[in-house]
Amino acid sequence: MSSAATPQISHFGVFCRDLDHMVAFYTSVFGLTVTDRGQGHTMPYEIAFLSSSPRQHHQLALASSRAEGAQSTVMQISFKVRSLAELREVRHGAVAHGASKMRGLNHGNALSIYFNDPEDNTVEVYLDTPWYVAQPHGDPLDLERPDGDIWAETERICRADPTFMPVEEWQSRFNRL
């Protein structure tokens, strides 16, 4: 892609069966704020716009009109946190608000939890590590262990992978693509 046009991912939208329930889940678990809500003019359903930043009107749009019994087509909705403590906090809040199928994965380049929201959309919450290994990569992640143990194990796993490099080296290679 030319340097003249470099679109950045900005937000995503999800169709819902129970819009109020989904708004309550995402505002409670992720601290998102409803910035606007109403009936669409060109899209004939109710839409709730949510954001965690006053600099971005919406990061998540939840829209009514998902048919009862319709399966989710969402591969995953991902949220980024800054620390293992925040990852644990979100895990606790998600479970308290009806999340299911909670699981932890160590991707080497990220530490993640995955769960299903109340309408079975897969949600990932993760934090970056300072290392790169080729993806997909997934070892079990036990957040009950102390931070130091998790970080030491992650570094050991990464350094044992033949694709290992510090994330700065991967970023430098990316910039040359």
Domain ranges of the chain: 10-67, 74-177
Q: How confident is the model at residue 69 (pLDDT cuts 50, 70, 90)?
A: very high
Using left for φ > 0, alpha for ψ between -120 and 50, and beta otherwise, residue 166 falls in: beta
Confidence class for position 177, pLDDT limits 50, 70, 90: confident
Helix ranges, 6-164 (H)? 19-30, 84-96, 147-160
| pLDDT higher than 90, residue 119 | yes
% of the chain with per-residue pLDDT over 70 = 98
Q: What's residue 1's pLDDT?
A: 45
- 30-34, 111-115, 156-160, 172-176: least confidently modelled range: 172-176
Name the superfamily (CATH) of residues 10-67. Answer: 2,3-Dihydroxybiphenyl 1,2-Dioxygenase, domain 1 (3.10.180.10)
C-alpha span between 22 and 118 (Å, rounded): 7
Same fold, 10-67 and 74-177: yes
Mean pLDDT, the chain, rounded, equals 94
Whole-prediction pTM: 0.91
Question: What is d(CA 86, CA 66) in angstroms, rounded to the nearest whole number?
Answer: 31
Pick the CATH number of 74-177 from 2.60.40, 3.10.180, 3.40.50, 3.30.2420: 3.10.180
The Cα–Cα gap between 5 and 162 comes to: 34
Binned at pLDDT 50, 70 and 90, residue 3 comes out as low
